Structure 1
Amino acid sequence: MHSIQLNRGADSARGDNAASLKLAVASWLNEKQPTPNPAISSQDKSGCGFYHDATAELICPVDFNWADKRTQDEIRNYDHNFQVTAHSWPTFMYQDGRYDREDPTRGLFKGALLVRTFKHIFTSPSSASETQPNEETFHQEPLYKRSRTSGERRTRHDDGFRKFKLRHERETVFGIENRNAKSNNKNVSKTLL
């Protein structure tokens, strides 16, 4: 019973945040310098994608250089040498849009827009507007959280809730299901109570 209520609450909160995401992403892109021309609309998707330079630069596969005018023309004209497929990694997935052919995982999933989107959905819309951390401090907790929790013991309830939330996010976002999810959720909810 409590697990169902927790799931409903999490789904509702995530739904609210996802609904506001379209407006937030348009706003973030319009804040870029230089300002996109024309401005990106949160209401109208026509003229976006590869037909708007600001969005095209973000979704251009890492294998191509969007700054090259020929690349732009060939992608927009569906040239067979410039195909964009589901297997193409878009530039926005990488930190600072840089792809390393020698180490393709370097910077992957650390693109500023991707991190902001993740924070908007999974933490809060206000956390997505915070300044982006640099690589060295990315994994550290903020000082105010470290000082507040230093010396405190974590309880079984803390760990149980973290495991429950992680499992729920994994199942919801990535479609990964745990064969024992029902029994595990019951165990976790018992631990929480």
Structure 2
Amino acid sequence: MNLHFTKNTNTATFLSRQVANSIPFSSNKVADTFNRFSVKPGSMEADIIQSTIEECEKTGIKGEEKYCATSLESMVDFSTSKLGKDVQVISTEVGKETQMQKYTIVPGVKKVGSDKSVVCHKQNYVYAVFYCHATETTQAYMVPLEGADGTKAKAVAVCHTNTSEWNPKHLAFQVLKVKPGTVPVCHFLPEDHVVWASK
């Protein structure tokens, strides 16, 4: 399959929990956030901040618990509160940015953890914010890949086994030409996304 693993240009790092908690993360107080980071209202950066906050404030779909972690400590706390303390954490490891190329799955695909996991996706924001969601209908796999140029990679694949509550207009259904709830939907995760799985 042809895959393109790119390095995310969003290099924002986590703030400590104490500092992150002192900064409003709410659409009601977005003007305070703009002031704090000298962001001009109406600018592209302001739109990104507002969009991330609004996405975090939306209600999750049925069967999904969602949370936006604004510090590493809050991500750990949310994930372990859903899975217990005996967890493993995995992410895609490519090593270098690659151009679009053909990858072959090589032997050694491993299922990671149970069917319950927490997947955290890095958001565009002025500091590191991860959109995390916990579901009981997700299976994670570590998939060894080899590129046509000999590049080796380990990619995390996540399979959603129940998509019946997803928006019928979701891109996955358009690409796969299937309807919600009919088949599992699997995808690879970029390098800066993290899967927490119970052992």
TM-score (norm 1): 0.26
Higher helix share: 1
TM-score (norm 2): 0.26
Higher strand share: 2
User: Comparing both chains, which one has the higher relative contact order based on Cα–Cα distances under 8 Å and sequence gaps of 6 or more?
Assistant: 2
